[in-house]
Chains A and B, each alone.
Chain A
Amino acid sequence: MSRWNELTKGIIKENPIFFIMLGLCPTLAVSTKVIYGIGMGIAATFVLIGSNIFISLIRNFIPDKIRIPCYIVVIATFVTIVDYILNAYVQPLHKALGIYIPLIVVNCIILGRAEAYAGQNTVLNSILDAIGMGIGFTLAITLIALIREILGSGTITLQMLGYGWVWEVPVKPMTIMVLPPGALLTIGILMGIINHFKQKEK
C-alpha cells in the first residue's frame, strides 16, 4: 500500500507544477502544441527516472558536502543522453523543443527530487517516486498545452513523424494564446482556480 502511495503522490497531491511550482520555464515555453507537451514530459520523466535510480544507488558514497555538484553531473549526463537520442530518432521534436532540452538540467523538479527523495531512499522507492512525479509533470504540461492549443490555433495535434492525428476544434483561434503571454495567463488562471478549490476544502 505504501509503495502505491509513493507512485501516486506525484500525480495529484504533490503535483510538481501546480502544487509545488517547480519546473515552470519549460512548461510554459514548449506548451504550444499538445504533442510538444507530451514529448517534453516524456523526456523529463526519462531523466528523472535515470537520475533517481543512479543517485539512490550511489547515495552512500557521495560526501555530504559536495552532493549537489554530484547530483548535477548525474542529471546532466542523462540530459545529454536524451538530447542525443531525440536528435537521432525524433528530429522534429528535437527542433521544436530546442534549447529547452539541455535546460532540463536546471529544471528544479529533477534536482529537487534527487535532493529530497533519491538521496535518502531505496532504489525501488526512488523509481516509483520518479515515475509518479514524471506522470504528474507530463499531465500538467499536457493540460496547459491542450488549453493553449485549442484556444490559440483551434486544433489538437497528436502527430509526430507522420503517425497520429490532428483534430480540428470548432473554435475561432486567438493567436495570443500560443504566444508567450498566453502561457502566463493560462497558468495564472489555472493556479487561481486550483487555489479556490483548495480553500473551499479547508
Chain B
Amino acid sequence: MEHYLLIIISAALINNFVLSQFLGLCPFIGVSKKMDSAMGMGMALIFVLTLSSIIVYLLDTYLLVRLHLEFLRTTTFILVIAALVQLVEMIIQKVSPGLYHALGIYLPLITTNCAVLGVALLNVSEMNNLLESAMNGFGAGLGFVIALLIMSGIRERMEFSRIPESFKGAPIAFIVAGILSLIFLCFKGFAV
C-alpha cells in the first residue's frame, strides 16, 4: 500500500510532470487563464491518464512484447490514445450529459497533450505491473491539476496587477511558471 502511495506522491509532487518535466506545457499555459476551465481540463486529464495507463500497459504486455513488436510502440500508443479519447468522449456524452458539458471541449484537446504519451512511454520503461502504471497515471494527472489550479489562481489575480506591456500574456505566464517550478523543486530537496 505504502509503495503505491509513494508512486502517486512522487508523480504528483516530486516529479511534477508540468513543472519539472515540461510534459503538457502547452495546455498549462493555454487554459490556465480561468479557474473553472482549469478544473475541467484537469478532471478530464486525470480520467484519461489513468485509463490510458491501464490500456497501454495491457496492450504492451500482452500484444507488443509477446509478438516482439516493440518498435511499433510509439505508433501504437499515439493511435490508441487518440482512439481512447474519442471513445471516452462518446461514452460520456451518452451516459452522463452533465459531465460531458463540463468536460466538453477539453477532451479532444487531450490527444495532443504530450503528458498522456509521455506517461505511457515512462510507464513502459519504468513500471512493472498494472497497478503501478495506473497509480503513476493517476498521480501524474493529480500533479497536473495541482499545478494548473495554482497557476490559474495566480493568473486570475494578475489581471489586476501592473505588468510591462511587452510581458503581458504568455511571457509573464512563463516567468510565473518558472517561479512555481522553483517552489516545486523543494519537494526534491535542493542538492547543488
A interface, CB within 8 angstroms of B: 21, 24-26, 28-29, 69, 72-73, 76-77, 79-80, 83-84, 99, 102-103, 105-108, 111, 175-176, 179-185, 187-189, 191-193, 195-196, 198-199
Contacts and interface: CB of A to CB of B under 8 A. Distances in A.
Interface in B21-74: 21-26, 29, 71-74
Given A72-B82, A176-B182, A184-B178, A189 B171 contact: yes
B22 A28 contact: yes
Contact of A103 (B19, B73, B117, B178): B117
B19 A188 contact: no
Nearest to A190: B171
Contact of A180 (B19, B82, B121): B19
Interface of B: 19-26, 29, 71-75, 78-79, 82, 112-114, 117-118, 121-122, 125, 164-167, 170-175, 177-179, 181-182, 185, 192
Given A76-B74, A180-B185, A103 B174 contact: no
Given A72-B78, A72-B79, A99-B118, 13 more contacts: A69-B79, A102-B121, A103-B23, A105-B117, A106-B78, A106-B117, A175-B192, A180-B19, A181-B179, A184-B181, A185-B174, A185-B178, A188-B174
A46 B72 CA distance: 19
Contacts of B25: 24-25, 28
Nearest to A99: B121
A198 B169 CA distance: 14
A65 to B, nearest CB: 13
Contact of B175 (A26, A176, A184, A199): A184
A188 B177 CA distance: 9
Contacts of A28: 22, 25
